[in-house]
Structure 1
Amino acid sequence: MNVETGKLQPGEARCPAISTQDIIAADKVPAPDWVRSEDYEYLGSEDVSKDRYISADFARREMESMWTRTWQFACREEHIPEAGDYYVYDIGPYSFIVTRTDDGSIKAHFNACLHRGTKLKPSGTAGYAADLKCPFHGWTWNLDGTNKKVLCPWDFPHADPDKLTLPEARVETLGGFVWINMDSEAPALLDYLGAKAVEHIDAWQMENRYIYCHVQKSYPANWKLTVEAFMEAYHVLDTHPQVAPSNADANSQYDVYGEHVNRFISCLGVLSPHLEGKFNEQQILDQFTIGDSSVLSDDRPMVGDGTARQAMADMFRGMFEQATNSDLSNVSDSELLDCFSYTIFPNTYLFPGISLPMVYRFRPDPKDHRRCIYEVMFLRPVPKDGPRPDPAEPIILRDDQSFTEAEGMDPGFGKILDQDTDNLYAQQEGLEASAKSGITLGNYQEIRIRHFERAIDKYVAMPPKVPSR
């Protein structure tokens, strides 16, 4: 605040309702320090140019300068548990075979034969292969990328097998995720994410979860618009009114960490500040547990002398302890209840909370910069007894299908994703038609968007980067 004028400086304004940290501080089971931290940074108030969402040239610059330099979530380790298991990850024109080698290491080979360029494995596939063989002329590579066979070698005296190793991207793992980067000069993954973000990811122990539902759909909007649709709770009241009675939307907390990671915490079991005085604690609990957006059961739990938030925390703790056969008495109410959202630049969201753990992944449509591929993967704890379950196969929806049609999708959550889809279609068309040259962002509630676009600008300003071996 300016001491002389008494006015708030840009970025200082907050919702006048109770803050996220004050909500969490009142919980019965206290949260760890990394939850009880705030890392907001004011990044300016200028409009963000709309060209980045509608220009094919901007999309080309992103592909040449940004996607070739950044760490991307390619698959989970559970997709490739054994030697020979592989998973094909595509981004724009690039394609990679992520595979487990005989010595247990992970490689990400560029998915192209070194003879005449044929893809070694089809896009969108996963499976097992003892080696990597081209379906066209039979040239074959070992799992580690070294050349195994050239058909009719007498005709290729000029092709030295020792120089025919498949080019590869860099690979690192964290939290059970396999990350790849095409740039040999990029910082290591831990440096790219930063110490604070890595501490948070480690704390959630996401390596101990597996994908039980995987849904993919093509969206009629630029990939960045789709990413940004989930970066703020500012849209909840008008886009998802059914959840506002139990979602502290306007007083959600927003944090930024370095250049490549940001976070929000949105508290559940708390009335939206927009609806103050319109619901009592029992009605808040009823809305979440037996209302239209219910994620629990048809039984009607009672608040009693407490709060809806505490009743929900106690209920969740009992449910999850029974489901996982584990003791959660020391897990904070916030970790059990609240929506924690981490964006890892450029295209991954981690929602590591216990109530609805999931991962989002966004990729530009290689044939149309006004469309993108959106995936949501729901996670569950790995059972303590028995083998680790295989990850779910992706369910691919048509444009005209509702998310609620995907097997394993919670209907209430599917409805929320459908509402976001409608917004994105209107937003892409609106930007195309708009006479305004940019978009205007809130200083606090939309800081994650500005942080994200700031990183986009940094990479797009760089010269094109040819993927290196």
Structure 2
Amino acid sequence: MTSIDDVADADATGKVPERYACGETFVPKTRYVDPDFLALELDRLFTQVWQPACREEEIPQPGSYYEYTIGRQSIMVVRQKDDTIKAFYNACTHRGMKVVRGAGCASEGDLRCPFHGWRFGLDGRSAFVPARDEFLHRPREQWSLKPVTVGTWGGWVFISMADDPPDLLGWLDPLPTALASFRLQDMRFRWRKRTFLQANYKTVIDAFIEGYHTPGTHPQTLRAAQGPRPSAEPAPPQEFSYAPYTPTIPYRNHSRFIYTARPDSGNRDSARKAQAARPEVFANSMQYNYLEVGSLVTERDYRAAQQLAAMEPTDVPPFVRYHQLCEELALAEGVDFPTMTMEQYFAGNGDWHVFPTLVILVEKSCVLGYRMLPDAEDPNRCVFEMFSLEHFASAEVPETAWQEFPRWQDHDGWGELPTQDLMNIDAIHAGMHSRGFDGLWLNTAQEMSIRNEHAIADRFIFGSEEVSAGD
């Protein structure tokens, strides 16, 4: 166990205690399984960083509120009468009772504590105290709810419990610039699901911020020539040479990986490249995303892929033709579709880890997202959320709510690809408890997103400042 003295020494020197210290490509398992490390994260990391509490559409009108829980901290996000947004610690200043639970709307124009009936304005100010004259005098602000700093970007409402948090857009850099053309703030939920996993929240995050696992976990994605629903039989060693190359781009506070060609591939895969250049093969991959992921491709995009599949090859790459068809269909059906150059697309497209808990895979028409939240006490348990956002015509925005499943196995609608990931998670985390496993040994090109998340965390937990490629 790490002693209080060890942590105090780390505070003074910026040195990470040996038990938790990472190497250049090594991450000790203690950072995933040690209850003391979870306590440090909840006390020193999550109280200092910006984190997404909800989407703006989840608090659609004045009085709407949303309860965001991180560890033992409950935060209420509240839409104000002037349509602005404020956030407060969700604790009545009388006896600590939660003022709101879940999501809803304060229809009477104020927030009511269900214990003794104290009331607070939407702006957090004390509005009514039964028998107030029976209490000793206190300054008015002490009767009111304690505020939490709030900001918005991309349609998300972010909160920070820090006394002096950094500028939100500065914290998010480079996402606001890289993703501006995609207009994430104009997207709305297509669907959203929540479940609970027997794993540390970082175990789950790590599975979604690197593409190195693709041929091992998702071999069907290598076989688009077989059709929209290819075989998922395990890949033989020779098939791994056709796996996508997904290098990591670390930033100061976040990371990203992209799909690209391996630098040393040359003309080695010329036959396969020629096959992939056929319209129907590319179209198969897009149809698969719609059928077995339920995101990254919208229903309109799926129809565009079906059109592409029937076309003959030309000098225009299938990728370009597909995007043209998607845009034409969207505009014809009344969608305010984002327009951008290919340079803008490639600057923002990819898999982003918005540290610490959000992962978004960004496309022009939609976003596939994940959020992983730690348990308050158990490092071997977390909340897992998965959702899809989409650009809709104004009259087509669906009514959605969070679907919650106590066990992920209780729902058979995750899709083949997400199910493959979920089937791995428990076993990955169980293996971390093995006496034969010391920690993670990471790929220097395709898994540095994982190493980067720990470097970011150490700045807040231990005051350790590493220089990353993003600095």
1:450 shift after superposition:
0.9
Between the aligned residues of both structures, percent identity stands at 27
- Paired with 1:328 and 1:339, the residues of 2 have a C-alpha distance of 13
Structure 2 distance, partners of 1:429, 1:358, is 27
Query: How many equivalent pairs are there?
Result: 406
Counterpart-to-counterpart distance in 2, 1:423 and 1:361? 17
Per the alignment, residue 424 of structure 1 pairs with 425
CA pair 451-336 structure 1, distance change in 2 beyond 3 A: closer
Aligned-pair CA distance for 1:171? 0.5
The structure in which a higher percent of residues are helix is 2
Q: What is the SS of the residue equivalent to 1:373? A: strand
Contact 1:266/1:338 (8 A) holds in 2:
no
Number of the residue aligned with 2:211: 233
1:82 and 2:61 correspond: yes
Map 1:251-266; keep pairs closer than 5 Å: 251-258=245-252, 260-266=253-259
| Aligned match of 1:455 | 456
CA contact 1:226–1:424 (8 Å) conserved in 2: yes
Q: Is the 8 A contact 1:267 1:334 kept in 2?
A: no
Structure 1 position 350 matched with structure 2 position 360: yes
Query: How big is each residue's C-alpha offset from its partner over 1:138-192, in whole Å with a ceiling of 9 and x where there is no partner?
Result: 1111111110111111221344444311111100111221110000222111222
Residue pair 2:208, 2:359 contacting (<8 A) in 1 also? no
- Please name the residue that 1:245 is paired with: 223
1:128: Cα distance to partner? 3.6
**Which residue pairs with 1:98 in the alignment?**
77
Within-5 A mapping of 1:245-394: 245=223, 250-258=244-252, 260-266=253-259, 277=271, 280-281=275-276, 282=278, 284-285=281-282, 287-288=284-285, 294=291, 296=302, 300-306=309-315, 307-325=317-335, 331-332=341-342, 335=345, 340-383=350-393, 385-386=394-395, 389=397, 392-394=400-402
Q: Which amino acid aligns with 1:399?
A: R
Q: Distance in 1 between matches of 2:164 and 2:447?
A: 32
Distance 1:164 1:397 in 2: 38
Distance 1:112 1:324, change over 3 A: same
Query: What letter matches 2:413 in structure 1?
Result: E
Residue 293 of structure 1 deviates from its aligned partner by: 7.3
Distance of aligned partners of 1:249 and 1:391 in 2 relative to their CA distance in 1, 3 Å threshold:
farther
Distance 1:375 1:400, change over 3 A: closer
The 5-angstrom pairing of residues 111-130 of structure 1 reads: 111-122=90-101, 124-129=102-107, 130=109
Question: Could you tell me whether the CA contact under 8 Å between 2:212 and 2:245 is conserved in 1?
Answer: no
Q: Once the 2 structures are TM-superposed, how far is the Cα of residue 310 of structure 1 from its aligned partner?
A: 4.1
Inter-partner Cα distance in structure 2 for 1:351 and 1:293: 14
Distance 1:95 1:327, change over 3 A: closer
Point out where structure 1 has 5 or more consecutive residues left out of the alignment. Answer: 1-42, 407-413, 464-469
Query: What TM-score do the two structures reach when normalised by structure 2?
Result: 0.77
1: CA distance between counterparts of 2:424 and 2:53?
Answer: 28
Distance in 2 (alpha carbons) for counterparts of 1:423 and 1:397: 18
Whole-angstrom distance in 2 between the partners of 1:286 and 1:102: 47
Distance 1:292 1:456, change over 3 A: closer
SS at match of 1:349: strand
Say which SS state the counterpart of residue 87 (structure 1) adopts. Answer: strand
